Amino acid sequence: MRLSLHEVMAALQAAGSEQTRKTYARHGVTIPMFGVSFATLKTLYKQIKVDHELALALWNTGNFDARNLAVKVVDPSRMTPADLDRWSRDPTAAMCSSYVAHVSAEGPHARACADAWLTSADANQHAMGWKLVGALAMVDAGLDDAWFRPHLATIERDIHAVSNALRSVMNLSLIAIGCRSPALRDAATAAAQRIGKVHVDQGDTACKTPDAGPDIRKAWEYARSKHAESPAAQERARASMRIRC
């Protein structure tokens, strides 16, 4: 039986905890929230599966937990450019905002969104553009490697001069590009060596800033140990990260 928005919001509210709210606040959540664990969100997703209309309604509540559930139950193929634009601009938290990029990457408007968002004057949307570059590197097997090379050059040129938040997502996109193919692995590893250490203020959290070169190497070693063609191919063989995480 299909759950209503009211029923889902009531379930989210009942599952919230003060400790989880404190944790999310340390990770930058400023919008209303109940403080629902990701384990509970996954349980709700298994109950709901895909419900696109419910996903849109959940997002529109402006509640952090509802938005985290929305990215799990949404149908990416039905998202319009206007929907994606709105979601990419809305505030969330760094630990969860990559989910919106994956929703876009799994739909038909990803390339157009990336091109538009990377030139956006809106800080949230601009950062989402870089997250989308990283998501496309991992999940879009049909995209030519050549598309990523200019973005790799931009990361190398600008990463030390941009804001703290943008520096973080550029670094993650650099790693994702390096996980796509052997040729891009070499190009991204060389870029990481020229870039050097990337410093990101992670605030009052236990988060660490990845070291791109070693992280790319470890990802390839692990993928090969699992007989995968690449880390990106290994990722494509799994359920979407917006659902499993």
> CB within 8 A of 18, min separation 6: which ones?
35
**Least confident among 71-80, 82-91, 188-197, 227-236:** 82-91
- The 8-class DSSP code of residue 199 comes to P
Q: Which two tokens stand for residue 33?
A: 């929230």
Q: Which two tokens stand for residue 4?
A: 């209503």
Q: Which tens digits make up the pLDDT trace of 57-74?
A: 999 999 999 999 999 999
* pLDDT value for 173: 98
Residue in 158, 176, 170, 164 with CA at minimum distance from that of residue 128: 170
H or E, element range at 134: helix 123-139
Residue in 104, 138, 139, 99 with CA at minimum distance from that of residue 118: 104
Q: Which tens digits make up the pLDDT trace of 127-165?
A: 999 999 999 999 999 999 999 999 999 999 999 999 999
Please state the pTM of the whole predicted model: 0.95
- Would you say residue 36 has pLDDT above 90? yes
